[in-house]
Amino acid sequence: MENNRKMKDIPANDRPYERCVQLGTEVLSDEELLSIIIRTGSSNQNSLETARQVLALNYPRDGILGLCHFTLEELKSVEGIGTVKGIQLMCIGELSRRIAKRSATVQISRYDSPEAVVHYYMEDLRHAEQELVYAMFLDSKNCLIKDALIFKGTVNASMASPREIFVEAMRNRAVGIILVHNHPSGDPTPSQEDYLLTNRIRQGAKLLGVRFLDHIIIGDNTYFSYRKEGILTDGIKV
């Protein structure tokens, strides 16, 4: 069986490192890419088998997406993964999120559609284990001045106070605000609390003369936009 074979016992053309050198990274499977990073397995299995077991970890998502979720203890439950390798794998997950967000930042200069906002936040928020509420502060051309994490935890209209949002908006001389948060379940359908929070932000924005452009809920590769659904009727184009 393969998990009893040392890597040196596998034909050279089938070893991940040699395949990478000869053919490039794009031809490698997730398992092979991870195997190269892991480098060594254990006395009972090679790095390919260790990589396969990491990818098979089943909580909260299996496969390569798991690298954005696994704790150090969960990774260390795999034979051949110790503290150092576990931390390295966690860092890969974090790097992938940052690369995706940085790419979105470079590509987008104006946030004048729900899709642009979703592209900016999707990789950060679709993997989050708890609800995170961000406020985007925009200028008159819908260019991002700053975004800020304003609440962490289960969204509650009485807890996620608009005060912090509007204080920050005034500090940054923002003309428009977009609220963005995630649903860890992956389903972006708004809850009653989401509607209550949206109404509070809308009322406060009217009083201060700031445009409340949208409230977007991020799910797993899907989203809900209050603006797109016609619940907010001025500001951001759809």
- Kindly state whether residues 129 and 218 are assigned to the same domain: yes
CATH of the domain at 186: 3.40.140.10
Point out the domain boundary residue: 99, 129, 146. Answer: 99
Q: How would residue 169 be classed by pLDDT, with cut points 50, 70 and 90? A: very high
- Kindly state whether residues 67 and 123 are assigned to the same domain: no
CB of 218 within 8 A of CB of 125? yes
pLDDT tens, residue by residue, 141-153: 888 898 999 888 7
237 within a domain of the structure (yes/no): no
Check: pTM over 0.75? Answer yes or no: no
- Kindly state whether residues 130 and 211 are assigned to the same domain: yes
Domain with 72 in it: 2-99
Listed in sequence order, the DSSP H helices in the chain are 16-23, 30-38, 47-56, 72-76, 83-107, 114-125, 162-171, 192-208
Mean pLDDT, residues 76-104 taken together: 83
* pLDDT over threshold 80, residue 103: no
Residue percentage of the chain with pLDDT more than 90: 26
The confidence score (pLDDT) of residue 61 equals 57
How are beta strands 223-225 and 176-182 bridged, if at all?
Answer: unpaired
Vertex 110 angle, CA 107 and 116, to 5°: 65
Number of domains the chain contains: 2
The confidence score (pLDDT) of residue 237 equals 39
Vertex 151 angle, CA 217 and 194, to 5°: 40
- Kindly state whether residues 132 and 42 are assigned to the same domain: no
Rounded CA-CA distance 37/24 in Å is: 15
236 within a domain of the structure (yes/no): no
- Kindly state whether residues 186 and 137 are assigned to the same domain: yes
Rounded CA-CA distance 221/123 in Å is: 9
Alpha carbon distances (Å) from 131 to 121, 182, 210 = 13, 5, 25
Point out the domain boundary residue: 75, 99, 123. Answer: 99
* pLDDT over threshold 70, residue 58: no
Q: How would residue 9 be classed by pLDDT, with cut points 50, 70 and 90? A: confident
* pLDDT over threshold 60, residue 223: yes
- Kindly state whether residues 172 and 115 are assigned to the same domain: yes
The confidence score (pLDDT) of residue 27 equals 87
The confidence score (pLDDT) of residue 40 equals 84
Mean pLDDT, residues 58-84 taken together: 79
Point out the domain boundary residue: 41, 75, 99. Answer: 99
